[in-house]
């Protein structure tokens, strides 16, 4: 960013912040959330750091100090004061717990507690006496605020026993107290956290005593007088010693019982929640839902390994413990400006508007492009070029526009163009999306080619977008089959195409011919025929394109819908696609080029006799030898049979285990042969799988 741009941006942000401060403090009608305010504020502060001479004395950043106050003495921490790794979806927390459980021999349990939104505090007690209260600071050094901490009634000056312990806790202000105190403040605070943090750092402790701060203790590092083995013991100990501990605690483990160890805890803590990992998912969701009803603010939940010896084994990364993780309710946001909206045309012709925003750092990465999905989404946001917007990473990956913070002057909403930006065809609307109806549209052609050569499809190395563009422009490359007909030697005339590059492209093309049928099938890029459906088709016995083309000609939707995982719409769309003349032509040309349009049955490759070839099997009931019953299905497939989910006129065999119900009747009705487990085992014995020689 140039100095001039920075100056303009600093002015804009300062004005925006000032206006919102006025709305918040004077009018008491804020239109920005605290988070958005903080994001704007951070951006201004960072610009001012880059261009210090542009900082004005009346800048909104001139009001607030840093965490480490120069007016208070600094002291070094004697324990590592780390922060937490975080996630924004509760599934991630449970996945984290399952992973730790998976890597551990013994059963691990996990506590879930509130992540109090206050000011981090370390209380050092020696032989039971409070000797020092220190802010988190930078983790190594903090501010000594002992005198201030001593005014907090819920912090004991002497513990019930003469233990030596460093207690970590969060100093906070209950919401109602915040409202009461803040309303009489000359310069009010944005939230209870800021008021608590500001108060703790006051130089005169009598000012601190006037604010009813309180604390929840959540960690204790004992160095003498006690030797707890688990986090719940630590929490109980802290409570016994006279500290305040939150009662909203959950304790979870894989089986929810911890080998019976839980029963005494249940009795002692009837207010806690206990359960297995499914209960943990529910607990995280419920806590999130009910947090607004709490008398204090929490910004998330913290899951921690309960067993302290396990914690030690897990250890720390440079920044945080591996034995704990924060579930944050709100993903981080940034505030930026929409500089333009590009319209992209996908391989299917679908038009996607993408906002180009001024790059903004959000949660560690920079966001510069944000998908806007479709016109409905843009209408919902009421978005136009020039608007200031809040952006986030949903689920921490895909950038999204959360809302418009300030409209540009024209007050308009952006509208999708009438024509395709690549080929000028009139766009058509299907459902929520706009489409370019021209299959020869260069943007669609390019999209299809890039899809075909891309990772996950044919994976042709060295055929990237630049090469595809050159081939499209100079050599009238139009369809995947052209890639196999082209004389790549000709590229040598062009700048940037050395011998080495050309031979790599050739090698990539040759290698792609070895891709199995299932990969070729999904690389065709037909609607609804993605990787999953291609696998389902091949694994249910459709191992050649000719079988599928025959189904398409016959319109046998039902032949596909019997496959578990394939629904009516998918079946219809796939068959329609396979009937298209242009698709047929591509298939024939690709087949002629040497691509695989047949896949050997796995059993064939391994040599098992194809005794079930041409048969269609359905499996029902439970088995002694095949649990889960998918194992039986595998055996059928390995020997050339097709497996379907329900009995129909095409079903030739029903493998019936214990308790097979309605399928038995249906099989009898359609005349399918009913095979018992015993009989099935005999059949398998006739076509054993050869032993592998490796």
Active centre residues (catalytic): 115
Using the rule CB under 6 A, which residue among 9, 21, 48, 113 binds ligand IVH?
Answer: 113
Give whole-number Cα distances, 421 to 218, 352, 368, 385, 446, in Å: 58, 11, 21, 18, 14
Cβ of residue 80: shortest distance to ligand IVH, in angstroms? Answer: 7
Cβ of residue 92: shortest distance to ligand IVH, in angstroms? Answer: 16
Q: Which is nearer to ligand IVH, 170 or 177 (CB)?
A: 170
Q: Does 635 bind ligand IVH (CB under 6 A)?
A: no
- DSSP per-residue letters across 211-235: S--EEEEEEEEEEES---SBHHHHH
- What are the E-state strand segments in 127-225? 129-135, 141-143, 164-172, 214-224
Q: How many helices (H) and strands (E) does the chain have?
A: 26, 23
Tell me the two tokens of residue 682.
């005999």
Tell me the two tokens of residue 612.
């079930």
Cβ of residue 85: shortest distance to ligand IVH, in angstroms? Answer: 8
Size of the site for ligand IVH (CB under 6 A): 15
Q: Does 136 bind ligand IVH (CB under 6 A)?
A: yes
Given the structure tokens 């920075």, which residue do they identify? 6
Burial of residue 111, with CB atoms counted within 10 A of its CB: 0-12 exposed, 13-18 middle, 19 or more buried = buried
Q: Which is nearer to ligand IVH, 295 or 671 (CB)?
A: 295
Q: Does 56 bind ligand IVH (CB under 6 A)?
A: no
Q: Does 78 bind ligand IVH (CB under 6 A)?
A: no
Q: Which is nearer to ligand IVH, 218 or 597 (CB)?
A: 218
Residue span binding ligand IVH (CB under 6 A) among the ranges 111-119, 149-157, 181-189, 347-355 = 111-119
The separation between CA 619 and the C-alpha centre of its own chain, rounded to angstroms, equals 36
- Give the DSSP H or E segment for 534: helix 531-539
Cβ of residue 635: shortest distance to ligand IVH, in angstroms? Answer: 51
Residue span binding ligand IVH (CB under 6 A) among the ranges 108-116, 255-263, 548-556, 570-578 = 108-116
Closest CA to 620 of 568, 662, 671, 648: 662
Q: Does 234 bind ligand IVH (CB under 6 A)?
A: no
Q: Which is nearer to ligand IVH, 326 or 390 (CB)?
A: 326
Q: Does 36 bind ligand IVH (CB under 6 A)?
A: no
d(CA 461, CA 501): 10
Longest dimension (CA), the chain: 92
Give whole-number Cα distances, 222 to 164, 215, 308, 515, in Å: 6, 19, 12, 60
Residue span binding ligand IVH (CB under 6 A) among the ranges 78-86, 461-469, 494-502, 580-588 = 78-86
What residues from 163 to 182 belong to the interface with ligand IVH (CB under 6 A)? 170
The residue number whose beta carbon is nearest to ligand IVH equals 120
Q: Does 77 bind ligand IVH (CB under 6 A)?
A: no
Closest CA to 314 of 94, 81, 96: 96
Q: Cα Rg for the chain, rounded, in angstroms?
A: 33
Q: Which is nearer to ligand IVH, 120 or 199 (CB)?
A: 120
Q: Which is nearer to ligand IVH, 175 or 404 (CB)?
A: 175
Residue span binding ligand IVH (CB under 6 A) among the ranges 36-44, 110-118, 286-294, 534-542 = 110-118
What residues from 195 to 224 belong to the interface with ligand IVH (CB under 6 A)? 218-219
Cβ of residue 294: shortest distance to ligand IVH, in angstroms? Answer: 13
What residues from 299 to 358 belong to the interface with ligand IVH (CB under 6 A)? 302, 321, 324, 326
Q: Does 138 bind ligand IVH (CB under 6 A)?
A: no
Closest CA to 112 of 321, 335, 280, 322: 280
d(CA 125, CA 131): 6
Q: Which is nearer to ligand IVH, 84 or 341 (CB)?
A: 84
d(CA 110, CA 228): 16
Q: Does 83 bind ligand IVH (CB under 6 A)?
A: yes
Q: Which is nearer to ligand IVH, 69 or 523 (CB)?
A: 69
Q: Does 477 bind ligand IVH (CB under 6 A)?
A: no
d(CA 442, CA 426): 15
Asked if residues 523 and 457 have their Cβ atoms less than 8 Å apart, the reply is yes
Q: CA 125, 126, 131: angle at the middle one, nearest 5?
A: 60
Interface residue list for ligand IVH (CB under 6 A): 82-84, 113, 115-116, 120, 136, 170, 218-219, 302, 321, 324, 326
């Amino acid at each position: 960013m140039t100095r001039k741009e920075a100056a303009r941006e600093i002015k804009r942000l300062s004005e925006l912040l000032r206006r919102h401060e006025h709305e918040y403090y004077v009018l008491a009608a804020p239109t920005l959330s605290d988070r958005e305010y903080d994001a704007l504020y951070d951006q201004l502060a960072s610009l001012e750091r880059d261009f210090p001479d542009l900082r004005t004395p009346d800048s909104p950043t001139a009001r607030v100090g840093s965490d480490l106050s120069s007016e208070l003495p600094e002291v070094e921490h004697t324990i590592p004061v780390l922060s937490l790794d975080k996630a924004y979806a509760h599934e991630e927390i449970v996945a984290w717990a399952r992973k730790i459980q998976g890597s551990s021999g013994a059963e691990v349990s996990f506590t879930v507690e509130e992540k109090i939104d206050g000011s981090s505090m370390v209380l050092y007690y020696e032989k039971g006496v409070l000797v020092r209260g220190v802010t988190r600071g930078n983790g190594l050094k903090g501010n000594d605020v002992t005198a201030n901490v001593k005014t907090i009634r819920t912090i004991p000056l002497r513990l019930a026993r003469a233990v030596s312990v460093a207690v970590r806790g969060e100093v906070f202000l209950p919401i109602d107290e915040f409202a009461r105190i803040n309303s009489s403040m000359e310069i009010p605070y944005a939230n209870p956290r800021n008021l608590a943090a500001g108060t703790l750092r006051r130089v005169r402790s009598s000012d601190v005593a006037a604010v009813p701060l309180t604390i929840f203790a959540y960690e204790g590092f004992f160095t003498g007088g006690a030797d707890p083995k688990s986090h719940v013991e630590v929490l109980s100990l802290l409570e016994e010693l006279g500290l305040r501990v939150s009662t909203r605690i959950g304790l979870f483990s894989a089986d929810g019982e911890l080998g019976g160890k839980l029963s005494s805890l249940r009795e002692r803590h009837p207010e806690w929640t206990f359960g297995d990992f499914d209960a943990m998912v529910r607990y995280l969701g419920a806590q999130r839902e009910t947090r607004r009803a709490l008398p204090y603010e929490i910004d998330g939940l913290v899951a921690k390994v309960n067993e302290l010896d396990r914690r030690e084994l897990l250890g720390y990364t440079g920044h945080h413990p591996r034995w704990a993780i924060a579930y944050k309710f709100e993903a981080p946001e940034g505030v930026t400006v929409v500089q333009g909206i590009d319209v992209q045309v996908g391989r299917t012709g679908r038009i996607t508007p993408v906002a180009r925003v001024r790059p903004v750092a959000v949660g560690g990465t920079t966001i510069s492009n944000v998908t806007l999905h479709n016109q409905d989404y843009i209408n919902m946001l009421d978005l136009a070029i020039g608007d200031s917007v809040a952006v986030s990473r949903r689920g921490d990956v895909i950038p999204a526009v959360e809302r418009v913070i300030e409209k540009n002057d024209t007050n308009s909403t952006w509208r999708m163009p009438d024509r395709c930006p690549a080929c000028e065809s009139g766009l058509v609307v299907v459902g929520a999306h706009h489409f370019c109806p021209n299959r020869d549209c260069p943007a669609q052609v390019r999209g299809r080619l890039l899809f075909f050569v891309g990772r996950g499809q044919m994976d042709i190395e060295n055929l990237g977008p630049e090469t595809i563009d050159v081939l499209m422009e100079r050599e009238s490359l139009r369809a995947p089959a052209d890639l196999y007909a082209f004389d790549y030697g000709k590229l040598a005339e062009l700048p940037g195409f050395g011998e080495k590059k050309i031979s790599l492209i050739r090698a990539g093309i040759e290698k792609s011919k070895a891709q199995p049928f299932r990969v070729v099938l999904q690389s065709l890029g037909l609607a609804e025929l993605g990787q999953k459906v291609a696998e389902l088709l091949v694994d249910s016995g459709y191992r050649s394109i000719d079988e599928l083309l025959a189904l398409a000609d016959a319109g046998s939707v039902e032949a596909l819908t019997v496959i578990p995982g394939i629904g009516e719409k998918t079946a219809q769309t796939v068959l329609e696609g396979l009937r298209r003349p242009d698709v047929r032509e591509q298939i024939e040309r690709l087949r002629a080029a040497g691509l695989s349009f047949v896949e050997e049955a796995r059993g064939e490759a391994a040599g098992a006799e194809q005794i079930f070839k041409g048969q269609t099997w359905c499996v029902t009931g439970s088995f002694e030898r095949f649990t889960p019953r998918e194992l039986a299905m595998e055996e059928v497939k390995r020997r050339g049979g097709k497996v379907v989910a329900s009995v129909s006129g095409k079903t030739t065999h029903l493998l019936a285990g214990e308790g097979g119900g309605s399928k038995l009747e249906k099989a009898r009705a359609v005349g399918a042969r009913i095979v018992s487990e015993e009989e099935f085992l005999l059949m398998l014995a006739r076509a054993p799988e050869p032993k592998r020689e490796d």
